[in-house]
Structure 1
Amino acid sequence: MGRRNSHKKSAAMLDSDDADSVSSSSTVQTDNMLMSRVEEVQVDTETFLDQCLDALYEKRGSTREKALSSIIEAFNNSLELEFVEKKFATLLHQCLNSIKKGSAKEIALASHMIGLLALTTGPGVKAQEILEESISPILDALKTRSEVVKLSWLLECLAVITFVGGEEPEETEKSMQIMWQVAHPKLGPNVAAAKPSLAMITMVVSAWSFLLTTMNGRTLNPKSWQESITYLSSLLDKDDRSLRIAVGEALALIFEIGSLEKFCGDAKISDDNSVDNVNDSRKLMSIHGLRNKILNQVRSLSSEAGGKGSAKKDLNSQRNTFRDILDFLEDGYTPEMSMKIGGDSLNTCTWAELIQLNFLKHFLGGGFVKHMQENHFLQDALGFTPKKKLLSGVENRMSNGEKRMYKSPNSALNKARTQLLNKQRTLSQDKNSGHYAVAFADD
């Protein structure tokens, strides 16, 4: 059938008049010129990136900073897969050198670049190498507390490379512990015990929550997170709305994955008769007390009155966020969000999905739309399928997507959450209005 159509097209071309022939010839020439220009642009981009890479060897810090900025811009504007394939190791090690020896600005840029490199490569051997090679330099850089911007990019980088390259839950939890020690240094000796700023704590909570979205509650080590729920609750009382919002979303996520007990400082409460029932009762009372305290805090922040000098936009954002959290805690309803990307819709229906989307959108900045349209890994992670991808017959999963499926809130884990939420809604219908209705099945 295809050959017949081909012969018909050939016959039609031969039978056409001179004008059609001239037009066809002109079209072919135009197409060839356009293809040539595209190839020239590609060659020019590769040459430019090679020059920027060479500039990372220069002694002058300002030269390296400019080179990093240029590479970041290129990676935001397009997926530089061929360049990464050829120069991956060189680019990674030069960025790591910048983290080890550069100024605060250079460290921030290098951290951003390493995160982009991980997102471009997607999960696999390269992403694992990025994580393994970067952990130690990032940890060393975090110990020297200085500019918030530098520390923020280090934390975001750590979150992204763990999100992409962390194959085992233990790797993810290790990164989460590093972050936690930045905000709450008394939990460990690896980070200097200087008091972190509220802005720094906000960034830690955001990055920590982002990684928590990839964790199955069963794999969390309760010994690592003793009394962390009490600490998060205390942060809701801080006079910083950005921090309150980040903490509120983190708490909603903890409830969503059904792991409140693991963040309360007690091991799993056993039904075994050999366990001291009195101690179990005290533990249960303590957990229910924390639940009620958090519920009251959420209710208060959802309707907080504007004080003198308070920014109306920030106040509205806080109210809206905590109203959503209150609806979730009382009735099991999660916020549904939809955004357009090139005419296609990206939807979220769980706290995990919303946190992942907001974090990656912030990290990629102006490159978010481009990556969502062309980066198959991000499309797979966020459950986004552009129409052109469907029409081209490309599968909605990467060849090695199974390695990541336990991390995606749009797959098996999401189904489990959906079942949990349905259960919560059913239970809430049997409660009186205003009552704390969520009966989470803690592990």
Structure 2
Amino acid sequence: MPKGGRKKANGHQRTSGRSRVENYSDEESVLNDNASVVSIASSSIPDEGVEGEIDEQSQEEVFEEKLLECVERLSEKSAQVRTQALQAMAAALSKKYLPDFIFDRYVTLIEAIRSSLRRGRGPEQAAAALLAPLLCVSLGPCEQSEEVAATLSTVLHQVAGDNSASPQARAKCCWALAVLSFLTEMEPAAAYASERLLIDIFSGSYLKGDGHTPNIAPEVAALHAAALSGWTLLATVDGCQGLEMVGQDHLADMLGSGHLDVRVAAGEALAVLHEIKPLESPEQVCELLAALATDSSHFRAKKERKAQRSSFREILAFIEEGRAPELKIRFGTEALELDTWASRKHYEAFCQVLGSGLNLHLAQNELLRQVFALGAPLTAADPTQKATKLERHLVNAAAFKARTISRAKHRDKRSVAIAC
């Protein structure tokens, strides 16, 4: 988040009441692995959309009881149980905005995440890394979110730079580290160390000394793409310093990578940096982008070619003609307009963190509303909120009563008219 734009909370002061907006849909922001997280968590976290005899307050209490069970399971001896608990917590916190619940337990959650990152392996580290920025986002704009970032960034940095850790876990740690650095006012030395680490990781996709593209495995390419995307997110805050740390030539070289996610991440990085400060030699970059935007090589899969052409047409149009991308995200009665590459990068970051729960947090979470300049959360009931069974019954009963009274009055008038 742009530095200096944060609101501090003193002590235990929190916003009053808990939000209960349910069943949002977010077709534009589905996290690729969110489905697996939700499926694992489905047995632990109740689905709010299920209709039953329990009223809304009771559902809220049951939901929090299940969350407490997840918190307790974070300290189990079994790595599988801990991993499932981390995934269930992440699924729950993306579905609901629970600042009060998290505020009362954030120290416990910090220790659980740090322990899983240090002692866990593979899936457990990846699940812990996913939960780290979610914890910060769930707390909202307060001093405690700064504490979360300061405490967890160190261990995230260690795992992301550990070559013996799994590439999937390192990729999640790269994103988590970048998001925490973006959201909070970290010390300049710590922020620089994070950027330097991300650069060291994705530099593995630079051209070799002989000018050839390195041959890397798909999971390592995904790690490089995550590190580059995280660095690009931080470049939206640091400005043109990012271009000085990497250089246009290296990013242009990465456009020739054999992996689509690396090529797209490099293209988006060039677009963001060009938006901050025009590239020195855009003609060379546009030539490479044009080739990718019209690529019809049959050795690439049809789906890959389609995704590549779509992505690079937008990037080419911006660098060559100055046409910024435009995207409108509707949630409830509001709409979020993204008309810069920086704002799209911010939105992408929260898509990675919140998955399909992003719309709910856009409506209720003060931290996200500060990032996207949406103002204070609306107090009016959201039209997408699904009414409880009791609420629907009361509305239907009131409507039936009104119709009955209206018909009775109409009959009385007709009777009087006939009598006259």
Could you tell me which residue of structure 1 aligns to residue 372 of structure 2?
382
- Letter of the structure 2 residue corresponding to residue 355 of structure 1: K
Change (3 A) 1:342 1:314: farther
5 Å-filtered alignment, 1:133-212, equals 133-145=151-163, 146-167=165-186, 171-184=190-203, 197-212=220-235
Q: Is the 8 A contact 1:123 1:164 kept in 2?
A: no
Could you tell me which residue of structure 2 aligns to residue 434 of structure 1?
none
Structure 1 position 305 matched with structure 2 position 296? yes
Unpaired runs of 5+ in structure 2? 1-51, 207-214, 382-420
Change (3 A) 1:302 1:390: farther
Change (3 A) 1:239 1:36: closer
Could you tell me which residue of structure 1 aligns to residue 330 of structure 2?
340
Structure 1 position 238 matched with structure 2 position 257? yes
Answer with 246-255 or 164-173: which moved more. 164-173
| Structure with the largest fraction of helix | 1
Q: Secondary structure at the match of 2:72?
A: helix
Answer with 163-172 or 118-127: which moved more. 163-172
- Letter of the structure 1 residue corresponding to residue 203 of structure 2: H
Q: Secondary structure at the match of 1:339?
A: strand
Distance, in Å, in 2 between the alignment partners of 1:121 and 1:161 is 13
Distance, in Å, in 1 between the alignment partners of 2:335 and 2:243 is 38
- Letter of the structure 1 residue corresponding to residue 71 of structure 2: L
Structure 1 residue 186, shift from structure 2 partner: 11
Distance, in Å, in 2 between the alignment partners of 1:64 and 1:390 is 37
Q: Deviations over 1:22-46 (max 9, x none)?
A: xxxxxxxxxxxx9993333333233
Unpaired runs of 5+ in structure 1? 1-33, 188-193, 261-286, 393-443
Structure 1 residue 77, shift from structure 2 partner: 1.4
Q: Deviations over 1:98-140 (max 9, x none)?
A: 1000121111111111110011112332122122111221122
- Letter of the structure 1 residue corresponding to residue 159 of structure 2: A
- Letter of the structure 1 residue corresponding to residue 290 of structure 2: R
Structure 1 position 115 matched with structure 2 position 133? yes
Q: Is the 8 A contact 1:302 1:321 kept in 2?
A: yes
Q: Secondary structure at the match of 1:304?
A: coil
Change (3 A) 1:53 1:129: same
Structure 1 residue 307, shift from structure 2 partner: 1.7
Q: Is the 8 A contact 1:241 1:315 kept in 2?
A: no
Structure 1 residue 332, shift from structure 2 partner: 1.4
Could you tell me which residue of structure 1 aligns to residue 341 of structure 2?
351
Q: Secondary structure at the match of 1:243?
A: helix
5 Å-filtered alignment, 1:25-174, equals 37-145=55-163, 146-167=165-186, 171-174=190-193
Q: Secondary structure at the match of 1:213?
A: helix
Moved over 6 A (4+): none
Structure 1 residue 183, shift from structure 2 partner: 1.7
5 Å-filtered alignment, 1:260-299, equals 260=279, 287-288=280-281, 291-299=282-290
Structure 1 residue 62, shift from structure 2 partner: 1.5
Change (3 A) 1:336 1:138: same
Q: Deviations over 1:340-390 (max 9, x none)?
A: 22353221111111121123213321222222222121122124469x817
Distance, in Å, in 1 between the alignment partners of 2:106 and 2:170 is 24
Considering Cα pairs closer than 8 Å and 6+ residues apart, tell me whether 1 or 2 has the greater RCO: 2
5 Å-filtered alignment, 1:209-228, equals 209-217=232-240, 220=241, 225=245, 227-228=246-247
Structure 1 position 322 matched with structure 2 position 312? yes
Change (3 A) 1:243 1:139: same
Distance, in Å, in 2 between the alignment partners of 1:234 and 1:222 is 14
Structure 1 residue 232, shift from structure 2 partner: 1.1
Distance, in Å, in 2 between the alignment partners of 1:122 and 1:215 is 22
Answer with 330-339 or 107-116: which moved more. 330-339
Distance, in Å, in 1 between the alignment partners of 2:57 and 2:242 is 52
- Letter of the structure 1 residue corresponding to residue 345 of structure 2: I
Structure 1 residue 66, shift from structure 2 partner: 1.9
Q: Is the 8 A contact 2:161 2:197 kept in 1?
A: no
Distance, in Å, in 1 between the alignment partners of 2:297 and 2:291 is 12
Q: Secondary structure at the match of 1:346?
A: strand
**TM-score when normalising by structure 1:** 0.66
- Letter of the structure 2 residue corresponding to residue 378 of structure 1: L
Percentage of pairs with the same residue: 23
Q: CA RMSD in A?
A: 2.8
Could you tell me which residue of structure 1 aligns to residue 352 of structure 2?
362
Q: Secondary structure at the match of 1:389?
A: coil
Structure 1 residue 323, shift from structure 2 partner: 1.9
Structure 1 residue 254, shift from structure 2 partner: 0.6
Distance, in Å, in 1 between the alignment partners of 2:274 and 2:172 is 28
- Letter of the structure 1 residue corresponding to residue 256 of structure 2: D
Change (3 A) 1:250 1:63: same
